[in-house]
């Protein structure tokens, strides 16, 4: 019997998840049906319950429903708790179990696919939204020398740094303070690139970076990546690898088998420069 999975979001027409999970299923011999569902902005919970009642076993969750999915869950794993949001649900009887694979997907992409070790690295993360929150605990588990959070609303970054202080060396600062620091890896987790805008990061903050990573994907050379390129950063990357790697983590969670991600990433990657 074919097992049912889905991704839910609004809008959802742009999603690559059915293609990604379809490739995973074909490569691993899994009999699944994976569809995209455009969820109702007013009745998200009803859409989830309807999918469960129709035999659905799990869902990926994308914007704008990650907070609603977190609230709907009956059980939340640690990464979801820290992020305050979920991007994956598993249904077991009456249980709705939530996890968040954004951070582990990003960590896997940076280390496994791009070859940059986080252990001992000096990291700068721009933004303090849901995607960033989900990434921080997996980052700190790799023991970077320093992780700095910068955000337009500095209090949000400061609150996150305080919350995570027991897990590693985490600082927060304003964008204006970044010129005094040196970083190996700079990650743009703001929404600026979705509007073709540049976050207010000074170019000097990128002067020693070896990797500039844009969480948005499929946008080409975004203003942030262009700034990094002009600052001489030798490696630029967007969020395609993160997208595929977080999907692989959900696939393992649901199916108990790990797919190979390289071919899917290669198929989806577009040149940045």
Q: Which residues are annotated as catalytic? A: 66
d(CA 28, CA 25): 5
DSSP symbol at 165: G
* Start-to-end C-alpha separation, the chain: 46
Burial 69-84 (b: 16+ CB within 10 A, else e): bbebbeebbebbebbe
Q: What are phi and psi of 225, to 5 degrees?
A: -70, -35
- Give, in order, the Cα–Cα distances in Å from 90 to each of 128, 134, 208, 214: 26, 18, 42, 29
Q: What are phi and psi of 164, to 5 degrees?
A: -100, 0
Closest CA to 124 of 115, 114, 135, 113: 135
């Amino acid at each position: 019997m074919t097992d049912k999975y889905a991704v839910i979001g609004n809008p959802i027409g742009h999603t690559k998840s059915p293609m990604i999970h379809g490739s995973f299923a074909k490569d691993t011999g899994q009999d699944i049906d994976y569809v995209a569902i455009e969820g109702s902005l007013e009745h998200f919970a009803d859409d989830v319950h309807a999918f469960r009642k129709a035999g659905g076993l799990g869902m990926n969750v994308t914007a704008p429903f990650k907070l609603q999915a977190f609230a709907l869950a009956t059980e939340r794993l640690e990464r979801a708790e820290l992020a305050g949001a979920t991007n994956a649900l598993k249904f077991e009887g009456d249980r709705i179990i939530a996890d968040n694979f954004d951070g582990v997907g990003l960590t896997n992409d940076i280390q496994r696919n791009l070859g940059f070790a986080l252990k001992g690295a000096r990291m700068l993360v721009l933004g303090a939204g849901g995607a960033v929150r989900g990434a921080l605990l997996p980052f700190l588990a790799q023991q970077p020398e320093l992780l700095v959070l910068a955000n337009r609303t500095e209090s949000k970054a400061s609150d996150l740094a305080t919350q995570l202080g027991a897990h590693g060396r985490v600082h927060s600062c304003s964008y204006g303070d970044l010129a005094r620091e040196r970083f190996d890896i700079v990650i743009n987790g703001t929404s600026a690139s979705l509007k073709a805008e540049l976050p207010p990061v000074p170019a000097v903050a990128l002067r020693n970076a070896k990797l500039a990573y844009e969480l948005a994907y499929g946008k080409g050379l975004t203003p942030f990546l262009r700034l990094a390129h002009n600052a001489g950063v030798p490696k630029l990357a967007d969020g395609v690898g993160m997208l595929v790697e977080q999907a692989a983590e959900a696939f393992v969670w649901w199916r108990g088998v790990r797919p190979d991600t390289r071919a899917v990433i290669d198929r989806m990657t577009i040149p940045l420069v």
